[in-house]
A = this chain, B = another copy of it.
Amino acid sequence: VAQPPPDVHPVPTARPAPDDRSGPAAGGAAGEVLAGHLAGLAAEFLRALRGREPGEDEAAGTAALRAAARRIAATAHTYEPLLDPGWAQQLRTELTWLGAVVGREHRHAARLARLTAALHRLAAGRDGTDGSALNQAVGAARAGALLERQLTLARTRAHSATLQALGSARFHAVADAVALLTSDVPLTAAAGRSAGRALPPLATQACRALTDAVGALPLTVAANPYNTHALHASLGEAAGPEAGQDGDPRDLPWHRVRRLVRTCRYALEVPGAAAPPDPDRPPRPDLSACPERLFDAGRVLERHREAAEAAEAAATAARTPRITPATAYALGVLHADQRAEVEAARYAFSTLWRPVAPAPAP
């Protein structure tokens, strides 16, 4: 059989393949492009669901399920004006519920892995040759055992909750709604406009929400290494029964930016959603114009959240009754270590979120 010459490319399909989000903008109607993108995401969702079946890598399947659910929900949010509003709202609510439930187990596991690694790093080189070092080594070991007990219990509970959710009528309704997306997306009249006109403004709006939220962050402080802000008041935070879920209130603007980074990134994944560069205007001076750095920023803020949650878990463990002072001391060191990681992630974000191009002189 003759090989085709190397410069012959395959004929592009009218609808992008599910994994091909970087394809060129379709020339057709916005609704058609959006429906094609959502159909691809829905197929990923269903594939991930099958991936959770016995014999498959359950954790990987769950991660893929969460990712697909997040992408569909974010896309339905950004492009809501092109979609039947009641339907889009309902689907987002249900997918957000699903993502939260099935994500919990992973988060507990990640937290335990992070804290265990940090304890190893903090206790490295201990030799236990004298009483004091031995005492500290015992404290670190007990802190590790305590955290493992508490987070493994939380993880087991989260696992049961996932199984229960995936067996529920509520989940089957979501899965049915997603399955419908592969063939039928309820569009509005506005979806009849050309993709090139209708999609970029909506993506820009999603990314502008990100830019605004970043504008409210204390980036000048964060850009100054060792500012100690993330540890500030670490011994003074109101840490009520909800502490493990809400964490430090000063972390919330960063968590919000993390979600908006994702929304902006997912919005730009729709083919043709990125506005073409306008030669008459300078490039937007932020990351939303630069998908790769946006991905890095999202990773950094993921690390920010994980470290914040790990710090909170160490503080929670230190409130366990009847622990020894050596255990509590190790948990205090661990808490501060993870708050330093929070600060480090903010610093890293501040180095990423830099003007892509300087603003022109007026």
Contact = CB atoms under 8 A, between A and B. Distances in A.
Copies in the complex: 2
Given A132-B319, A332-B333, A336-B332, A343 B226 contact: yes
Contacts of A112: none
Interface in A307-340: 318-319, 323-337, 340
Contacts of A136: 235-237, 239
Contacts of A329: 318, 328-329, 331-332, 335
B328 A238 contact: no
A327 B330 CA distance: 12
A239 B332 contact: no
Contacts of A91: none
A234 B231 CA distance: 17
Interface string A266-286: 000000000000000000000
Contacts of A122: 231-236
A210 interface: no
Given A133-B236, A236-B122, A243-B132, A226 B328 contact: no
A129 interface: yes
Interface string A227-251: 0100111111111100100000000
- Chain A interface mostly: helix
Interface residues of A, number: 53
Contacts of A130: 238-240
Contact of A336 (B119, B127, B340, B347): B340
Interface in A129-158: 129-130, 132-133, 135-137, 139-140
A30 interface: no
B123 A236 contact: yes
A228 B336 contact: no
A238 B133 CA distance: 5
Contacts of A341: 226
Contact of A233 (B123, B232, B243): B123
Interface of A: 119, 121-127, 129-130, 132-133, 135-137, 139-140, 225-226, 228, 231-240, 243, 318-319, 323-337, 340-341, 343-344, 347
Given A226-B347, A332-B336, 16 more contacts: A122-B236, A124-B232, A127-B238, A133-B237, A135-B319, A137-B235, A137-B236, A225-B226, A226-B343, A231-B337, A231-B340, A318-B326, A329-B329, A330-B332, A333-B333, A333-B336
